[in-house]
Amino acid sequence: MINYNRLGYEIKRNLANFSEKISNGLKQPQSKFLLQILYGILVGNKLHLSEIARSLNENITLKKTIDRLSRNLSAFKQKETVMKNYISVVKKQINEENAVIVIDNSDITKPCSPKMETISDVRDGSTGEIRKGYFTVEAAVLSQNKKMPLPVYEKVFSAAEKGFISATHENLQCLKSLSAHFSKNCVRTLDRGFDANDYYRYFLKNDEKFVIRSKKNSNVIYNGKTQNIMDVAGKYKGNYRMNFKDKHGKKIECKISYIPVRLCEFPNKALVLVAVYGFGVQPMLLLTNLGVSEKKKLCMIATKVYLIRWRIEEYFKFKKQQFELEDLRVMSLQSIRNLNLFATLVTGYIGMMSCEKEDTIFMLELKECSKRIFDIPKFIFYGLGYAIERVLARTHSGIKGFLLKKEQSQQLTLAECFAGLGFE
């Protein structure tokens, strides 16, 4: 039988230790606010300040708690310090020499909130429709063993905000942040939206490894001639074979080709076009600068690296669904950015918990608490998120016990007693 009080205490202690690490360098009120907001999101699985306030169980009116959280949320400007500390914690879960970093864009749609600050038109990735909302760019590094996505960069931006340059500029800022924190040997994996000269120029200039899915209308230099990339891929029908399983467990047999090419914009830089047949009528085209001597090995590595980028899609889906990210109830862009930051930190905390405590009694009990109908899948975030919510909802003390500083003991030691009586 599960002892929910003990399990709840362990979760709170673990969260408090995580919050202490990422809040290093913050003032005490900011550190307390950070722990409270992370705890509230975990308990309620929502970003509503009212739900976060209820989870804290404070001995004051709910309105006062909400007002305090709202003030701190809009005034919190220590993102760089927190993310720097957080990334140092994430690095313990990866092999920095060959880690895979996935970068992608997403959106937060708010079609019924036209009065929100600097809201603009965005393309809803779920429906393809143009709606009101905000753009996001995010990056996640995959953990060493279980290949779980651990977010390492996030930013919400709007085309209507003052000082906005372009989405490409925001994406390049993301790449610069990754360059500052991670090795050049980490493979940057990107989708077709990043098949542009600006990104190739950045990677080639900084000598960073990448795998980018190419668009079908791109041109490349092959055998000294400029040709359409699909025409070049059509000359090869797959020299190597590799088997994959899709999300339904169905076996897919792929044929892969290795084609040396160069980009028209960078004719002096040798790249490799990897054409993968088997995932549709047309081949999947990957451009990479991975340096592997064996052609077969390079094809396999490039294909595997790109195919595991779907993990960031699961990460986006989890963050939006689990915490109801698109149901934000704040008006200012600064508050929206901070809530997205905190949701990212909570997601990273759940990911690191799944990596650090694998196969422990603590993790086995959490899995039991998740009450899944079927076995918990490889992407364990949903099961852990629900289990943590279920356990913490049964506790009634909130997180206040971990906010108080350890006071110095008032009990006299034996030596102090003897000294007070005149004995040496």
Mean pLDDT of 341-352: 93
Highest mean pLDDT among 86-100, 281-295, 333-347: 333-347
Number of separate domains in the chain: 1
Per residue in 258-267, pLDDT (tens digit) is: 899 999 999 9
Q: Which one is predicted more confidently, 350 or 417? A: 350
Among 63-72, 155-164, 283-292, 338-347, the minimum mean pLDDT is found in 283-292
Among 104-108, 236-240, 367-371, the minimum mean pLDDT is found in 367-371
Predicted confidence at residue 116, as pLDDT, reads 92
Torsion angle of the four alpha carbons 149, 16, 393, 374, in this order, in degrees rounded to the nearest 10 = 30
Q: For residues 336 and 343, what is the distance between their CA atoms, to the nearest angstrom?
A: 11
For residue 228, what are the contacts with CB-CB under 8 A and spacing of at least 6? 217, 218, 219
Q: How confident is the model at residue 408 (pLDDT cuts 50, 70, 90)?
A: very low
Predicted confidence at residue 194, as pLDDT, reads 94
Torsion angle of the four alpha carbons 25, 8, 381, 330, in this order, in degrees rounded to the nearest 10 = -60
pTM score = 0.89
Amino acid at 125: G
Indicate the DSSP class of residue 109. E
For residue 131, what are the contacts with CB-CB under 8 A and spacing of at least 6? 109, 110, 111, 121, 122, 123, 124
Domain that holds residue 59: 4-81+331-402
Predicted confidence at residue 409, as pLDDT, reads 43
In the predicted structure, residue 416 carries a pLDDT above the cut 50: no
| Vertex 100 angle, CA 97 and 102, to 5° | 145
Helix (H/G/I), strand (E/B), else coil: 39: helix
Highest mean pLDDT among 198-207, 298-307, 410-419: 198-207
Q: For residues 26 and 390, what is the distance between their CA atoms, to the nearest angstrom?
A: 31
Nearest partner of 49 among 321, 324, 315, 322, judged by Cα: 324
Residue entry with tokens 């590799």: 242
Predicted confidence at residue 218, as pLDDT, reads 92
Is 67 a member of any domain? yes
130-142 vs 219-222, strand pairing mode: unpaired
Nearest partner of 264 among 213, 217, 299, 303, judged by Cα: 217
Give the Å distances, CA to CA, from 283 to 40, 142, 247, 290, 387.
46, 26, 19, 20, 41
Is 357 a member of any domain? yes
Q: Where are the alpha helices (DSSP H) in 242-330?
A: 295-307, 310-322
What percent of the chain has a predicted confidence (pLDDT) above 70?
91
Is 372 a member of any domain? yes
Mean predicted lDDT score pLDDT of the chain: 87
Is 69 a member of any domain? yes
Q: For residues 142 and 306, what is the distance between their CA atoms, to the nearest angstrom?
A: 12
Among 312-321, 345-354, 355-364, the minimum mean pLDDT is found in 355-364
Predicted confidence at residue 406, as pLDDT, reads 43
Per residue in 22-81, pLDDT (tens digit) is: 999 999 999 999 999 999 999 988 899 999 999 998 889 999 999 999 999 999 999 999
Q: Could you list the beta-strand ranges (E) of 209-354.
A: 210-213, 219-222, 225-228, 240-245, 251-263, 270-277, 284-288
Predicted confidence at residue 210, as pLDDT, reads 93
Residue entry with tokens 């862009």: 333
Per residue in 151-201, pLDDT (tens digit) is: 999 999 999 999 999 999 999 999 999 999 999 989 999 999 999 999 999
In the predicted structure, residue 96 carries a pLDDT above the cut 90: no
Among 2-11, 293-302, 356-365, the minimum mean pLDDT is found in 356-365
Is 37 a member of any domain? yes
Is 140 a member of any domain? no
Is 130 a member of any domain? no
Q: Which one is predicted more confidently, 124 or 71? A: 71
Nearest partner of 136 among 147, 149, 120, judged by Cα: 120
Mean pLDDT of 196-219: 94
Amino acid at 366: L
Is 141 a member of any domain? no
